Amino acid sequence: MAGKIIQAAGGIVVRKGARPLIAIVQRSKDDRWVLPRGKLKRTERAVVGARREVVEETGHRVKVREFLGAITYRAQGRPKVVQFWRMQAAVRPSHDLMKDIAAVEWLPLKAAVRRLFYPLEKLFLKSVGRSAIPRRKSKTKAKKKKQNKKNKKRRL
């Protein structure tokens, strides 16, 4: 028998700056670098559990944004489903890390993908990473928009 499905949730956590950075965490039990995530409590909604796990594992308060997808795999002989949301992290940490986490690193997307231990997480982050990073408006687009407004006013 396959056993009951293990439900978990987490986040692709982005911190804004000159260059957006993504959080990955190092587990204390095996030193592996993973995306911040964890098992849900029995009656916990996935999005609530995702926020809780990310705050515990990164030490940063977060704003939860859109759902990015899920990965599934077998853990201890049982199917496990981990749902992920895009999250925006506060600039500074506001909580201590839980004892299960040895370290947090904030890395550019490509470096974060390389550092992750599990191939499935690497593939997932690689496929959703670009959509998780907020796009900056290019100066050219901003200039065009401003020029269009000027032209519109002149016509009136």
**Has residue 96 got a pLDDT over 60?**
yes
Assigned token pair, 46: 């996935």
Question: What range does the domain containing 34 cover?
Answer: 6-155
Instruction: Judge whether 125 lies within some domain.
Output: yes
| pLDDT recorded at residue 22 | 97
Give me the CATH number covering residue 61: 3.90.79.10
Phi, psi of 108 (to 5 degrees): -60, 160
Q: Please write the tens of the pLDDT for every residue from 48-63.
A: 999 999 999 999 999 9
C-alpha–C-alpha distance, residues 73 and 35, integer Å: 15
Does residue 102 fall inside a structural domain?
A: yes
In a domain, 1, yes or no: no
> Could you give the CA distance from residue 49 to residue 31 in angstroms, rounded to a whole number?
23
Number of domains the chain contains = 1
Is the model's pTM score more than 0.85?
no
